[in-house]
Amino acid sequence: MRRQLGEGRWDKILIRKMTELSVADNYDDAKEEWIATGDVWWSGNGDMPSWVLQTNHALQCLCGHPIVYHFRIRNTQNGVEEVVGSDHINSYLIMRQIAEEKGLLIGEVTDEQVAEWIKVRVGSMKAEAWWAENGESFEMMFNKIKELDCWYNTHKKEYVHINSLNRYEQKRVIRKKGKGTFATPSYKMASIVWRWNHPDNPKNQLRVHGYPNDNLMKDLAYLYVMSESLIPSFNEWKKEREERKAYITESREKARIEQEERMERRRRKQAERERIWNLPENVEKRRLEQEERERLLDERRQRAEKERQERLEKERIRHKETMESPFNEEYENNCHFLGLPVLTDRVCETTSEYRDVASFKRKASLKRDNLAGYLRNLKNVVELPPTEKQKQLLLQYNVVAKTRLEAEQILEEEGENERFRYNARDFE
């Protein structure tokens, strides 16, 4: 924190004069009456303001010491205004002004806030003075080279696709740090725009200081001189890109219009097709055609069903004939080999049962073979309750069977199978 007034010569004079200008008659009470206003003037910053002139000690502190920075202070009890220098704008005056600005207690004001208060006001004055003296020439040079700077002071990186140009180009990235010796062929200048006012640079000089530093001005002047030889190449590059961009934009707009025209033609054709489709005569025609298609389809289904029934009937008759025909010795032996009685047509009632048993009989009547695969189908038949034929025959013998297999075993024992047997010599 800046020092308080002490026992030095200039301090004693300031204490005496501030007390004389105050309502209180002692400095400890008098200092409570004074506050910094926030107004500051630098002797190098243009015309002297009226509040400095009216003190009758311009370029001097209230204590009489020569000064460069003039800080305006005011007595809050009697309205008297005076000017002190940077050595005598002590912390208490500033702290009181900050406390009133921010609604704080004086004890809550920090050293950093006091330092920032002085820095902001002194920096603002220096910036104003710099712009008054150099602003016009700086703006003229900067405006001339700012586009060139973003093209020239860059790094060339990987190739990327530029949509507006519809081609690949090397990506240009602003050079943020210079390299090499100033004004030599190998000098790589840091971007002036980046250092001065680029929005992505949080520490750009416009934001931090309000005016450019000496290195920026030196690079700006150097690039400004070089620009006469660089601008033709830059303008040629820029012109080619602008022409390319205009060509691509025009081509895309033309393609867009053509696409819209094609879509419109398709839309009109579709609308015409829908109009024709929905004409009453066409609706009636489609209805009749649909009825005809349904009629033909129904006929086809009926014909197919009739053919299927005829096919099933032929198959049933063929299987029935097989089962009703006499059996030979080979069939009898195979049935007994499998632990079955000789199966006859008595075990069959439905077409599928005739099919399963007839298939077994044809196979078993030829020769001994692997007949195990037929047993599953036979099991589905012979384990059912007896058929009507079996029941009628069993009544003659006063016996009852639970399954068709059991019924066949009984009927075989009673000799009911003899009429189905034949010998080869019977057909010689």
Over the stretch 396-418, which tens digit does the pLDDT of each residue have?
Answer: 989 999 999 999 999 988 887 77
Arithmetic mean of pLDDT, 119-146: 81
Find the range with the poorest average confidence among 100-109, 176-185, 233-242: 100-109
**Of the candidates 19, 23, 44, 32, the residue with the CA atom closest to the CA atom of residue 122:** 44
Question: Which is more confidently placed, 70 or 129?
Answer: 70
Whether 180 has a pLDDT exceeding 80, the answer reads yes
Arithmetic mean of pLDDT, 323-345: 88
CB 87 within 8 A of CB 66: no
Instruction: Report the C-alpha gap between 401 and 229 in whole angstroms.
Output: 122
Instruction: Report the C-alpha gap between 366 and 330 in whole angstroms.
Output: 7
Instruction: Report the C-alpha gap between 408 and 214 in whole angstroms.
Output: 124
φ, ψ (nearest 5 deg) of residue 36:
-75, 135
CB 26 within 8 A of CB 48: no
User: Please, which pLDDT band fits residue 268 given cuts at 50, 70 and 90?
Assistant: very high
What SS3 state is found at 197?
Answer: coil
Helices within 21-66 (DSSP H only): 27-30, 50-53
Whether 427 has a pLDDT exceeding 50, the answer reads no
Whether 169 has a pLDDT exceeding 90, the answer reads yes
Instruction: Report the C-alpha gap between 428 and 426 in whole angstroms.
Output: 6
pLDDT at 1: 43
pLDDT at 33: 87
Query: Cα 94 vs. chain centroid, distance in angstroms?
Result: 53
Whether 425 has a pLDDT exceeding 70, the answer reads no
Question: Which is more confidently placed, 169 or 115?
Answer: 169
Arithmetic mean of pLDDT, 155-184: 94
Q: For the chain, what percent of residues have pLDDT higher than 90?
A: 53
User: Please, which pLDDT band fits residue 424 given cuts at 50, 70 and 90?
Assistant: very low
pLDDT at 85: 85
pLDDT at 260: 96
- Torsion sign, CA atoms 146, 149, 151, 155: negative
CB 223 within 8 A of CB 243: no
- For 56-64, the CB contacts below 8 A with 24+ separation are 57/83, 61/10, 61/14, 61/85, 61/87, 61/88, 62/14, 62/17, 62/18, 62/88, 63/10, 63/11, 63/13, 63/14, 63/17, 63/88, 64/10, 64/13
CB 218 within 8 A of CB 189: no
Token pair listed for 305? 């069903």
Whether 353 has a pLDDT exceeding 60, the answer reads yes
pLDDT at 130: 77
pLDDT at 369: 66
Please identify which residue in the block is written with the tokens 């080279």.
145
Q: What is the pTM of this model?
A: 0.50
Token pair listed for 144? 């001339």
CB 90 within 8 A of CB 114: no
Question: Which is more confidently placed, 96 or 336?
Answer: 336
pLDDT of 2-60, one tens digit each?
Answer: 456 778 888 899 999 989 999 999 988 888 888 888 788 877 666 788 999 999 998 99
What's at 131, amino acid-wise? W
Q: What is the CA radius of gyration of the chain?
A: 58
Q: Residue 178 burial (CB < 10 Å; 0-12/13-18/19+)?
A: middle
φ, ψ (nearest 5 deg) of residue 178:
-75, 165
CB 75 within 8 A of CB 13: no
Whether 161 has a pLDDT exceeding 90, the answer reads yes
Please identify which residue in the block is written with the tokens 């005829």.
310
CA torsion, ordered 345, 350, 354, 360, to nearest 10 deg? -100
